Amino acid sequence: MSAEHASDDVLALRALLGAVPDDPTPTAADAYDDARDGAILAAILASSAAHDPAGRPGEVAASAAPGAPATPPAGAGPARATVRHLVPRRSARRRWTTISVAACLLAAVGAVVGPMLGDRAPAYASRPPMLHFQESSPGDLLHEESTPPARDVLLELADAAGARTDVPAGPVQYVESVNWFQTVTGEQGGTEARIEPVRQQTWLQADGAYRSVELRGGGFEPSGRLVLPDETTTDRLVDQLPAGSFGPLAPDLPRDAAELRSTVLAQAGDACPEEVACVGAAFVELAAVEVVPGDLDAAFLTALAADDDVSALGRVTDRLGREGEAVGYVSQRVDGGPTEVSVLIVSPQDGRLLAFEKIRQDDELYPDGPAVVELRVLERSSWVPAIGDRPPG
């Protein structure tokens, strides 16, 4: 893919995440605006993260400056918080469609920016090392080798999720994750895209108000384990959106697996040619923002179990040292051949989604073999009393 095409994809994704109107007829207000829509995309694409900047020692609310570094040099002093109050272009957002389409566009854009990785400290790997899967590997799927079906494993995981006792719902959903993917920062002076570790914390209120805080930095040990950024010295980007920006999806989603799958595919339309990729992407993106109840986890896992294209990869230790059960599926093809595999890592104890990884085969960009080009590790999710609160522990 050329740099020109990559730019087109970035613009398309930015316009999409800026708003998805119920009435698709374009209006003057729908014209793409760099400062307005780029800022909105930065919040959503980074899926963003973290805690209340007000009243926390060492944090200073500051205006976003074009080209400002996300991570200060060593010894630069206490962390600061750049706070952006964002206004969605429309209050009614069809987030389900956005999730499915964004997942596919990100796959196309990520292939171009992969070689543009910034330098890491000598102790860090330049990109995430491949995890070790006990039964089969993502490379087996990319090379179309025989792999065991994941049906039985997924149904066992679904049973574990269905048997889980969830805590009662509260006012605000809190999710904490660590990610390696493309982030796009949009300001008056233009945009910047890069791939790097991003620690995120998000809050979603019942009325659709949303806050995210992200800390960029850290890296990966040669073993593949994550090294997290130091919260006391790393600047944070805080994005805040008002009530009506997002509607929580989980309460209204079907708990019947077949109906859930149909709902996801109907909303995605032609956005994801690989149907299993749509279901998997919806599962991941929902868990990145909402506290997913056990019966909905079970429905997603059962829906994936019905797809013969999902393979069992076996037990694996994720990048936070947790044991999980891994399944994989081809999420992108070029000229009929697989070029990308997505991996889901699920807790065998309670059926919770632990992590997601995307592995790509591209001989030109990655001559040493398949490479991890995106990942999301879900640290924890919980209900909290108010935006800015964090669960104990």
| pLDDT of amino acid 271 | 78
Rounded to a whole number of angstroms, the distance between the first and last alpha carbons of the chain is: 45
Which of these, 169, 234, 153, 181, lies nearest to 206 by C-alpha position? 169
Read off the pLDDT of residues 285-312 as tens digits, 9 standing for 90 and up: 999 999 999 999 999 999 999 999 999 9
Work out whether the CA dihedral 232, 203, 21, 182 comes out positive or negative. Answer: positive
pLDDT, tens digit, 9 for 90 and up, residues 211-228: 999 888 777 777 777 777
**What confidence tier does 107 reach under pLDDT thresholds 50, 70, 90?**
very low
Residue 113, Ramachandran bin (φ over 0: left; ψ between -120 and 50: alpha; else beta): alpha
Least confident of 36-50, 227-241, 253-267: 36-50
Q: Phi, psi at residue 318, to the nearest 5°? A: -75, -175
Whether the per-residue pLDDT at 201 is higher than 50: the answer is yes
Identify the bridge partners of residue 380 per DSSP, sorted by sequence position: 176
* 52-91 per-position pLDDT tens digit: 333 333 332 222 332 333 333 444 455 566 666 554 443 3
Is the pLDDT at 32 greater than 90? The verdict is no
CA–CA distances in Å: residue 65 to residues 62, 186, 372, 380: 9, 10, 31, 31
